[in-house]
Copies of this chain bind each other. A is one copy, B any other.
Amino acid sequence: MIARLYRGEERIDALDPRDRGLAYGDGVFETVLVHHGEPVWWDEHLRRLERGCAVLGIRGPDRDFLRAEAGAMVAGCARGVLKLIVTRGIGERGYARSPDASPTLAMSLSDAPSAPPPQGLTLRWCETRLAIQPRLAGIKHLNRLEQVLARGEWSDPSIHEGLLCDTAGRVVSATSANLFVLRGGHWLTPSMADCGIAGTCRAWLLGNVPGAVETALSREEVESAGALVLCNAVRGILPVAALGERRWATRDATRALCLALARAEPAFAAVPLS
């Protein structure tokens, strides 16, 4: 892994232990697929980063600066994952913000994940529930203990992901991917208005797949759906083969979804279509 740190636009060698990212999770992050030396969906990631900074009142890094520095970092990378963390910077003890703090930027480049299983993902339901917090919903902030607890519920490597409900019992997402389910010929995905992260691949699907819409989903509606896929910006669309006792064979609608993404964004051409 390669890593670079900045305070404002100045390279630094080490994180300050007073960084509010460490103290309070006071920041946001992005996880970006790198393909042939280019960040995929770069504009969309930069926009979400800026939206997250705006929600938290963080003066985030300049977009051109970020483009230049990240671009230099990923230039020689055939395929990998670029992670950006932006925090409010150094703070004194206490929750009050120092208005003149320079934001901290941590950029790292790591290997792309291994290919997903060709037969599709095996999922479980998580017992951890996501709390309802509209003020923080949708953005990719650094307060991720709920996801850590949920992912800690299983260690069986044959389980690839876990689905989460909110404290009101509505289905939200997987621990690190959004969920779409096929019902009545439409791809449906939960709203991110109360909790969860509004993913970049999710946004692509909502914007580009006819009939793809947000709607409330119960556990029963997920289990009785005709097909399930997970999606995120690093792995694209991931067909689901099993959830608990329920099994799904890959359907034409799922293949069509994967093909549409691969045509629009060649970085995702290697999706499983078996």
Contact = CB atoms under 8 A, between A and B. Distances in A.
Interface of A: 1, 3, 5, 13-15, 17-26, 29, 31, 56-57, 81, 83, 85, 87-88, 92-97, 106, 108, 110, 128-129, 131-133, 135-136, 141-152, 167, 175-176, 195
A151 B98 CA distance: 12
Nearest to A88: B148
Contacts of A129: 133, 135
Number of copies of this protein chain within its complex: 2
A259 to B, nearest CB: 27
Nearest to A14: B14
Contacts of A149: 56, 135-136
Contact of A18 (B18, B108, B131): B108
Cβ-closest 10 pairs across A and B: A25-B25, A14-B14, A131-B131, A143-B143, A24-B144, A95-B151, A131-B133, A15-B15, A17-B106, A95-B147
B81 A93 contact: yes
9 contacts: A3-B17, A13-B14, A14-B15, A21-B22, A24-B25, A81-B93, A131-B131, A131-B132, A131-B133
Contact of A132 (B110, B150, B167, B176): B167
Nearest to A168: B132
A145 B151 contact: no
Contacts of A151: 94-97
Contacts of A56: 145, 148-149
Contacts of A135: 128-129, 146, 149
Contacts of A108: 17-18
A153 to B, nearest CB: 10
Contacts of A96: 151-152
A271 to B, nearest CB: 20
Given A94-B151, A131-B131, A131-B133, 8 more contacts: A3-B18, A15-B17, A17-B106, A24-B145, A97-B148, A128-B135, A129-B135, A132-B132
